């Protein structure tokens, strides 16, 4: 039975031990990718993504440095990771476990109320998959039975989007709504009265599928840009589908070159659209995985609007429907692990631009991890107290 546990911020529990896509810790005592990439042992330029082995190198280095700054003297020897995606979080865990040599365990969660509660262990991937966030204590109990100590030698990495915030299967639709609202605001500012929202949603829904990952690279910035070009009628949707079917379009770089040639040959598409295109093109060439800055800044503003936006008297159903909430089960488990002496760190592949104020944002804006919102979920304290 879900309950409302009041308002909190992620910072109340994790402080500034938060790292987003750019791999720049928000606690500035630990240097990030820009100033310490060579010390991390990275061999490739650009910002690695969660699936990359280079990401594991950077993440492991940051974890070690953060532990030292936080005053941990016991060497790290164990790793826990809690996330919501089998591919991204699961792969990141396996890469980290292999690189570090630490003993580890990973929980991939989601609420699947149509299924009977079960926490399955996949021996091949060494991942635990739970169809309820409330199964976290069962996971920890199994981990303890395997001899994992869960003490000052343990580093715990918590994913943010759709795990700590807006847990998958329960509240993640509000995160998606905030992102879409950010996209709409961006399209309105670029296309004005010419923006066709209904058409945009149709194109976005179709292209936001795994079959088109060769083109979008499963990157929301790329997808939003492609749909912008289609909405501006620079390229027709049917024309795009024909090129895909004929296998003339193999990746996003080719799409950008196509747009570039059209802008040179066709009537000027409008100054706003040209500025967006040139900015994204420059960012892609520089290896930036978050090239659509304009959209991400709007996503940040929209996300804050959906955090703590309802009153304390709102029902649980209203909170889960219309507010981005903190997952109470992840909160209680993280608090329990912290009390045992573990080091906690939030790491997310969510763009920095969609998670914290930029240089042009007003001083009143707080980063997402310091925005108060309601904690909703099941009370696990009795179950956690039984774990030895």
Does residue 26 share a domain with residue 162?
yes
Distance between CA 202 and CA 358 in Å, rounded? 31
Domains of the chain: total: 2
Q: What is the pLDDT of residues 142-170, one digit of tens each?
A: 999 999 999 999 999 999 999 999 999 99
Tokens coding 178: 């905030």
Does residue 12 share a domain with residue 152?
yes
Does residue 227 share a domain with residue 337?
no
SS3 108: strand
Does residue 144 share a domain with residue 191?
no
pLDDT band at 266 (very low <50, low <70, confident <90, very high): low
Distance between CA 117 and CA 150 in Å, rounded? 25
Contact 228, 207 (CB under 8 A): no
- Identify the bridge partners of residue 18 per DSSP, sorted by sequence position: 346
Distance between CA 221 and CA 289 in Å, rounded? 8
Tokens coding 233: 């009628």
Does residue 195 share a domain with residue 162?
no
* Phi, psi (degrees; rounded to nearest 5) at 28: -70, -5
pLDDT above 60 for 267? no
Q: Specify the pTM.
A: 0.93
Q: What is the pLDDT of residues 188-222, one digit of tens each?
A: 999 999 999 999 999 999 999 989 999 999 899 99
Query: What range defines the domain where residue 368 resides?
Result: 3-170+325-385
As a whole number, mean pLDDT of residues 20-42 equals 95
Strands 326-327 and 127-130: unpaired
SS3 35: helix
Where helices occur in the chain by DSSP H, the ranges are 11-14, 33-36, 53-69, 88-100, 136-145, 172-191, 197-207, 213-216, 220-231, 237-245, 252-265, 271-285, 293-305, 316-322, 328-339, 381-385
Residue 304 resides in a domain: no
Distance between CA 290 and CA 276 in Å, rounded? 13
Q: Which of 299, 315, 346 is the last residue of a domain?
A: 299
Residue 307 resides in a domain: no
Q: What is the pLDDT of residues 295-350, one digit of tens each?
A: 999 999 999 999 999 999 999 999 999 999 999 999 999 999 999 999 999 999 99
Residue 317 resides in a domain: no
Does residue 355 share a domain with residue 264?
no
């Amino acid at each position: 039975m879900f309950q409302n546990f009041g308002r909190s911020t992620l910072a109340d529990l994790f402080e500034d031990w938060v790292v987003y896509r750019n791999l720049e810790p928000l606690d500035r005592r630990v240097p990030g990718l820009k100033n310490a990439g060579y010390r991390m042992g990275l061999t490739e330029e650009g910002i690695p993504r969660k699936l990359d082995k280079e990401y594991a190198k950077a993440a492991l280095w940051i974890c070690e440095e953060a532990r030292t700054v936080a005053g941990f003297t016991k060497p790290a020897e164990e790793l826990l990771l809690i996330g919501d995606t089998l591919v991204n979080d699961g792969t990141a865990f396996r890469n980290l476990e292999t690189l570090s040599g630490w003993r580890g365990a990973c929980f991939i969660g989601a609420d699947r109320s149509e299924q009977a509660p079960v926490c399955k262990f996949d021996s091949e991937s060494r991942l635990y998959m739970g169809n309820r966030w409330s199964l976290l204590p069962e996971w920890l109990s199994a981990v303890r039975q395997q001899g994992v100590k869960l003490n000052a030698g343990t580093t715990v990495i918590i994913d943010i989007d759709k795990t700590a915030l807006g847990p998958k299967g329960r509240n993640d639709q509000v995160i998606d709504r905030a992102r879409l609202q950010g996209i709409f605001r961006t399209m309105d500012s670029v296309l004005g009265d010419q923006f066709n929202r209904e058409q945009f949603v149709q194109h976005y829904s179709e292209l936001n599928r795994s079959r088109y990952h060769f083109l979008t690279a499963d990157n929301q910035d790329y997808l939003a840009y492609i749909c912008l070009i289609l909405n501006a009628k620079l390229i027709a949707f049917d024309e795009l589908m024909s090129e895909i079917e004929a296998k003339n379009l193999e990746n996003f770089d080719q799409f950008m070159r196509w747009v570039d040639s059209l802008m040179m040959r066709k009537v000027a598409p409008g100054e706003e659209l040209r500025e967006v295109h040139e900015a994204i093109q420059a960012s892609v060439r520089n290896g930036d995985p978050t090239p659509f800055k304009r959209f991400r800044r709007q996503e940040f503003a929209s996300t804050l609007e959906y955090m703590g936006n309802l009153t304390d008297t709102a029902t649980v159903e209203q909170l889960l429907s219309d507010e981005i909430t903190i997952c109470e089960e992840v909160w209680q488990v993280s608090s329990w692990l912290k009390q045992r002496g573990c080091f906690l760190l939030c790491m997310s592949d969510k763009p920095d631009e969609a998670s914290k104020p930029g240089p042009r944002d007003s001083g009143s804006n707080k980063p997402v991890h310091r925005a108060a919102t309601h904690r909703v979920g099941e009370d696990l304290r009795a179950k956690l107290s039984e774990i030895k």
